[in-house]
Amino acid sequence: MTQQPTAPPLAPAKPPQTRGQRLVAPLATIGALGATTLALHFRDPHSQGSWGFCPSAALGFWCPGCGGLRAVNDLTNGHLVDAASSNLAFIVALPFLVAGLALWATDRWRGHQRQLSMTSVSRVAVTVIVLMAVFTVLRNLTGSWLAP
C-alpha cells in the first residue's frame, strides 16, 4: 500500500498575532480620525476656501459629502442643529460609523474574526448607494432644505 503524496500548503502558517499587533489598524484609524476632527475644530471650514474648494460645488451641484467638514466642526462646538443643517446624511450615519469602528476595535482586542456573508455586504452597500443617490438628488432640488 503506497501513500498518496500530499500537496504542500500554499502559504506557511502564520504565528498568532499579539493583541498589540491586532490593534494597530483600528488604533491608527481612530488616531487619524481624532487628529482630523481636532484640525477641523481649530480651522473652521465655514470660512470660504479654508480647506480648499469642493470640485462638485465648482461644477454646480452638491455631492453627498458637501457640508461634511462643516458638520464635524459644528459637532465639535456642540451645535447639533447646525451640523444637521450642514449635512444631515453625515449626522444620521455617524452613530453607525462609530458603532462599526468600536465593533472592529473590540473584535481585534478579543482576537475575534467576524465572518460576513457577501449577500449581507452587498445588500448594505446597495442600500447605502441608493440612499446617497436619493439624498444627492433631494439636496440639489431648487430651494431644498437639505442643501448645505
Q: Evaluate whether 66 touches 148 at the Cβ level (below 8 Å).
A: yes
Residue 114 is predicted with a pLDDT of 87
Kindly state the average pLDDT of the residues 128-142: 95
Tell me how far apart the alpha carbons of residues 37 and 101 are, in angstroms, rounded to a whole number. Answer: 15
Strand partners, 52: 50
Residue 56 is predicted with a pLDDT of 86
* Segment 61-119, tens digit of pLDDT: 889 999 999 999 999 999 999 999 999 999 999 999 999 999 999 999 999 988 889 99
Q: 3-state DSSP: the chain helix, strand, coil percent, rounded to 5?
A: 60, 0, 40
- pTM (predicted TM-score): 0.81
Confidence of residue 2 (pLDDT cuts 50, 70, 90): low
Tell me how far apart the alpha carbons of residues 37 and 69 are, in angstroms, rounded to a whole number. Answer: 9
Whole-number Cα distances in Å, 2 to 5, 8, 49, 66, 68:
9, 18, 76, 69, 68
